[in-house]
Chains A and B, each alone.
Chain A
């Protein structure tokens, strides 16, 4: 008798536990669904929460990501030793050429400054850079963003341009006190006003997630050559003029695909451009992506 009661009680508590689990799961599924709906209706409503959670987890992410980065550095150091000799020779010849270019640049700079003075031209203010380390990478097939360990306290603000050593990689879309999120220019939501160097043709660079970004809003028969450089146009006053982005790599049915200068798969450090913008161009808060 006693054992039957025990068995019944055990079976009752087990079913109650499963029921409780199911009820709990159902409730949290409903809440998740509601949150997802809210995010779709108003994508910015939870941006504050994103920033705060990223801030809280930034030290842990930074701590855990460090061994991976050290490991990657070590691996690239070992595998790179064989290529170092060839690279050294290449760099030496490149350095020789750059020295000649440096002299030319100095001459042109002096000439440019004197002409600017003559024309009384208003020169854009100098850019400052904030260097930050990537602590989280959500770059998968669908979303291309990076989380870096610098934020508002370091001078990082929303909509500032982010560069790697080679060229522009994206822009800041969220900035907390000690962490910020970068939307890569390969993300499907990224739109950057650009100019085709040489032709002065203006266009918008649109991210395509898995495929290379493409130029949009170009006039038909724009006749852009493969290998032409693409830089930021500075239109809209969000990004400074002249940040290098990439080169035209392919032309498909009138669409021009761009190969970014920066290797998007290998970004460890980023430079955020802190450019003082023309206040006449900015009226109020810019909408997010």
Chain B
């Protein structure tokens, strides 16, 4: 009991809390109204940025259950068919986690290009699903706009995440992750 409340553990929990709070905050930004005209055409997809970064650098931080919950909340709040974003997010995390060793050995530019491709594929899958549902395959240009905006934001988000990442304990301390 006393060990749990040791200053080392409390500091670790605080650092994990900051990481999770940032993830939650960026996720909420994906849900809010920007109050900017035509923002729906080119708003960044923060949740994909979160999933991509942490799937490469700290997969334990976002478990499949966590990703599932984020996808479910996303669909429930935005009024989408429930489960579609959970499928997209989990699949993206799965694929990136499988390729994380490759990305870890690559330059930052390759990581950024990898993100652009991931974001594009997720948005394409989303567009394909909703277009099939609506029976009209238009608005594909929005996929490009969103990919471009998200890709521009990715390096900035990476800087922020890197600060958090450095404060986190090494992966070996799994009991607290």
Where the two chains meet, the residues of A that have a C-beta atom closer than 8 Å to any C-beta of B are: 18, 21-22, 24-25, 27-29, 31-40, 43, 46, 49-50, 53-54, 57, 60-61, 64-65, 68-69, 71-73, 134-143, 145-147, 174, 181, 188, 209-210, 263, 265-266, 268
Partner among B28, B35, B64, B91 whose Cβ is within 8 Å of the Cβ of A60: B28
Q: What are some 13 contacts across the A-B interface (CB < 8 A)?
A: A18-B97, A29-B87, A32-B84, A35-B82, A39-B81, A39-B83, A40-B81, A68-B36, A72-B34, A137-B34, A143-B80, A174-B79, A263-B37
Nearest CB on A from B83, distance (A)? 4
Partner among A35, A71, A265 whose Cβ is within 8 Å of the Cβ of B37: A265
Per the bound structure, the CA–CA distance linking A96 and B64 in Å amounts to 64
For the A-B complex with A24-B63, A32-B83, A146-B33 known, give 16 more contacts whose Cβ atoms are closer than 8 Å: A21-B64, A25-B64, A27-B64, A28-B68, A46-B82, A53-B77, A57-B28, A57-B73, A68-B35, A141-B41, A141-B142, A142-B133, A147-B79, A188-B134, A265-B40, A268-B33
Per the bound structure, the CA–CA distance linking A73 and B78 in Å amounts to 24
Question: Which one of B31, B59, B67, B77 has the highest number of Cβ atoms from chain A below 10 Å of its Cβ?
Answer: B77
Per the bound structure, the CA–CA distance linking A50 and B79 in Å amounts to 7
Per the bound structure, the CA–CA distance linking A53 and B77 in Å amounts to 7
Q: Is the CB of B76 within 8 A of A181?
A: no
Q: A28-B64, A146-B33 are known contacts. Are A54 and B142 too (CB-CB below 8 A)?
A: no
Nearest CB on A from B33, distance (A)? 4
Residue numbers in A under 8 Å from B78 (CB-CB) = 136, 138, 143, 145
Q: Is the CB of A68 within 8 A of B33?
A: yes
Residue numbers in A under 8 Å from B93 (CB-CB) = 25
Q: Is the CB of A32 within 8 A of B81?
A: no
Per the bound structure, the CA–CA distance linking A266 and B38 in Å amounts to 8
Per the bound structure, the CA–CA distance linking A25 and B67 in Å amounts to 9
Asked if B161 lies at the interface with its beta carbon under 8 angstroms from chain A, I say: no
Q: Is the CB of A29 within 8 A of B130?
A: no
Q: A22-B94, A28-B68, A209-B136 are known contacts. Are A142 and B131 too (CB-CB below 8 A)?
A: yes
Q: Is the CB of B32 within 8 A of A65?
A: yes
Residue numbers in A under 8 Å from B72 (CB-CB) = 32, 35
Where the two chains meet, the residues of B that have a C-beta atom closer than 8 Å to any C-beta of A are: 25, 28-29, 31-41, 59, 63-65, 67-68, 71-73, 76-84, 86-87, 90-91, 93-94, 97, 127, 130-131, 133-134, 136, 138-139, 142
Nearest CB on A from B46, distance (A)? 11
Q: A35-B82, A188-B134 are known contacts. Are A72 and B36 too (CB-CB below 8 A)?
A: yes
Q: Is the CB of A64 within 8 A of B76?
A: no
Per the bound structure, the CA–CA distance linking A64 and B27 in Å amounts to 11
Residue numbers in B under 8 Å from A138 (CB-CB) = 77-80
Per the bound structure, the CA–CA distance linking A39 and B75 in Å amounts to 11
Per the bound structure, the CA–CA distance linking A1 and B48 in Å amounts to 44
Residue numbers in A under 8 Å from B134 (CB-CB) = 142, 188, 209
Residue numbers in B under 8 Å from A73 (CB-CB) = 35
Partner among B28, B86, B142 whose Cβ is within 8 Å of the Cβ of A32: B86
The residue of chain A having its C-beta at the shortest distance from the C-beta of B146 within the complex is A140
Residue numbers in A under 8 Å from B90 (CB-CB) = 25, 28-29, 32
Q: Is the CB of B87 within 8 A of A32?
A: yes
The residue of chain A having its C-beta at the shortest distance from the C-beta of B29 within the complex is A64
Nearest CB on A from B134, distance (A)? 5
Partner among B35, B94, B139 whose Cβ is within 8 Å of the Cβ of A141: B139
